[in-house]
Chains A and B, each alone.
Chain A
Amino acid sequence: ETGVTQSPTHLIKTRGQQVTLRCSSQSGHNTVSWYQQALGQGPQFIFQYYREEENGRGNFPPRFSGLQFPNYSSELNVNALELDDSALYLCASSLDVANYGYTFGSGTRLTVV
């Protein structure tokens, strides 16, 4: 059984650029959530995808968008990057939207300069 994998592990971008982060969910998991974790803080919920549809969203602006594919893998896209977008981005999958507890990937560390 493979866990949740994210790519890339590290990324440096310039303010104003766009970035795409990728996530492969754990085998058998149809629900994927994305989080932003700043240093010293808990993960902040960005949005959740269930069976290719956005199922809910946290307090993030529209320049944060996502996709889920038929194999349940997912992408997080961030447009017009700002310095404050520098953070660890975590993807987590669960067996179903009912949430039996999430399995997290090791994250993508994004630095915006």
Chain B
Amino acid sequence: RKEVEQDPGPFNVPEGATVAFNCTYSNSASQSFFWYRQDCRKEPKLLMSVYSSGNEDGRFTAQLNRASQYISLLIRDSKLSDSATYLCVALTGGFKTIFGAGTRLFVKA
């Protein structure tokens, strides 16, 4: 079983749609969680950290459920520019950053 698992995707959605990404992690000792965005043939870029209380940044909302070991990312009002791969990340042991395989999103006009 992979330490961080994500929906395999890809997701194909029209502009304006709401899309949800799901992620689970296996190590209950994981301390911090993040969502990264990676455009094709580019480096990952930090999208947002994820907190148990939930956090929002514009059209993006992230949520962490420690009891279920589940992380989510919601994108509202999708834009063409949101097309990318979204990577779920768990930090374990204070240094080991475990990335999921990523979920590819295509937003169509």
Contacts and interface: CB of A to CB of B under 8 A. Distances in A.
Interface of A: 33, 35, 40-45, 48, 50, 55-56, 58, 90, 97-99, 101-107
A56 B44 contact: no
A42 B43 contact: no
Given A42-B87, A42-B101, A48 B44 contact: no
A106 B91 contact: no
Contacts, number: 54
A102 B96 CA distance: 12
6 tightest Cβ-Cβ pairs between the two chains A and B: A42-B99, A56-B95, A104-B43, A101-B46, A48-B95, A42-B101
Contact of A106 (B32, B34, B42, B97): B42
Nearest to A105: B43
A85 B22 CA distance: 30
26 contacts: A40-B101, A41-B101, A41-B102, A42-B4, A42-B101, A45-B98, A45-B99, A50-B95, A55-B95, A56-B93, A56-B96, A58-B96, A90-B43, A97-B95, A98-B94, A99-B91, A99-B94, A99-B95, A102-B44, A102-B46, A102-B97, A103-B46, A104-B44, A105-B43, A106-B43, A107-B43
